Amino acid sequence: MTKLAQAQHARLPVRSRIYRILYTAQGFCSRQELAARCGVSLPTLHQSLRELMAEGLVRYTGEGPSTGGRRAQGLDIVPELRYSVGIALNKRELRLVAADLRLQELAYRSVRFDVGACLAGREPKLAAHLEAFLDGAGLDRSRLLGVSVTVPGLVSEDQKTLLVAPTLEMKNVPLSQLLGAIPYPVNVDNDGSASGYAEYFLRRMTGSMAYLSLENGVGGAIVLGGTPYFGDHRRSGEFGHICVEPGGLRCACGKYGCLETYCTPQRIKAAFGVSTEEFFRGVEAHKPEYTALLYDMLRHLAVAINSIRMTLDCDVVIGGFMSEYLVPYLPILREYVLSGNPFEENADFVQFSSLRRHITPLGAALHYIQEFVAGV
């Protein structure tokens, strides 16, 4: 924790300090340890603990190891007290996740959802899919904190307008056309940004990270010293539009040579007419034309990674559902990265996400979880 973070933490009410310490604790935490970390006496700690337990926020978790005397009792938050729902939207599909306060997955569902040429008229269908998901998972709506939706594009600061979404072929679309029928608190975020914040959260990182999301589109997020960096116009992390091949393939954004045109399922589909899964089976079967395309994708990905590394000088974590297919080829990718990096002798800073497939909807769900924790 930085000195600034420590000072901010010390100004919080005791109950807030207790909850946040327990929320981030790894392993057994006793009352004595908790009092020391909070910087308060045991009587003061007990008073706040009673309040938290009465509200169902904190509980005892059993006894610690024996040290010869009376065993200490452990404490923890109650993660199942509340939950949040994250929905990841793309052109053909909705992915819905429910997660508890520790971002542990409670339920998941993928459903067909054809966005079409516009969002108009889609709000009752999305709301119906959400209600069916909650019913199917047997989730108590009274414990639902809110629903956060990610979109593959830029959202206005007031969250009312989808400014631009190249993969959806949309500009300046009112988001009420999509979310207006949801009867719960609703948040909207960029899919790459949400995924990046979830990755940072799950890794329990304290430094800086650039997250590169490989889905049907390419996006990302930047976290500097634990704080998300949005940029002056909320466009940070738009790594998909780094030019990796001047004058190259035409991108959905209208420009040429963007990373998004080189490292997505659409390129595979356009080249061979097969799914991503079929393509990588072909690579494993040593089909030369498939292997050649994979290596070209990795080379262009390495160009973007080096641009990010040279600019931000931090770890680059690659996630999104495309990334799970690339894990066996990490050594090759790192070789390509090193070939364009004049400063380093290894590329260990290039890593894959530990939670690739569901990280986008989980990242969306994290919004209301963090809001809840901050409000205790």
Q: What is the pLDDT of residue 3?
A: 55
More confident residue, 284 or 2: 284
Each residue's pLDDT tens digit, 20-47 = 999 988 788 888 989 998 889 999 999 9
Judge if 3-77 and 82-195+359-375 fold alike in CATH terms.
Answer: no
Amino acid letter at 263? C
- The mean-pLDDT minimum among 63-72, 107-116, 276-285 falls in 63-72
Q: What is the pLDDT of residues 315-329, one digit of tens each?
A: 999 998 889 899 999
Q: CA–CA separation, 238 vs 251, rounded Å?
A: 14
CATH of domain 3-77: 1.10.10.10
CATH, domain range 205-352: 3.30.420.40
Please tell me the pTM assigned to this model. 0.80
For the purposes of burial, counting CB atoms within 10 Å of the CB of 67, is it exposed (0-12), middle (13-18) or buried (19 or more)? exposed
Mean pLDDT across the chain: 89
Q: Determine the pLDDT at residue 51.
A: 93
- Residue 120: pLDDT over 70: no
Whether the pLDDT of residue 66 is over 60: the answer is no
CB 175 within 8 A of CB 162: yes
Burial class (CB in 10 A: 0-12, 13-18, 19+), 141: exposed
pLDDT over 60 (residue 9): no
Domain spans of the chain, in order of start: 3-77, 82-195+359-375, 205-352
Q: Exposure string (b/e) for 124-138, b if CB count within 10 Å is 16 or more?
A: eebbebbeebbeeee
Fold for 82-195+359-375, please state it: Nucleotidyltransferase; domain 5 (3.30.420)
Residue 4: predicted pLDDT: 47
Amino acid at 224: L
Q: Provide the token pair at 52.
A: 């938290």
Residues 215-233, mean pLDDT to the nearest whole number:
87
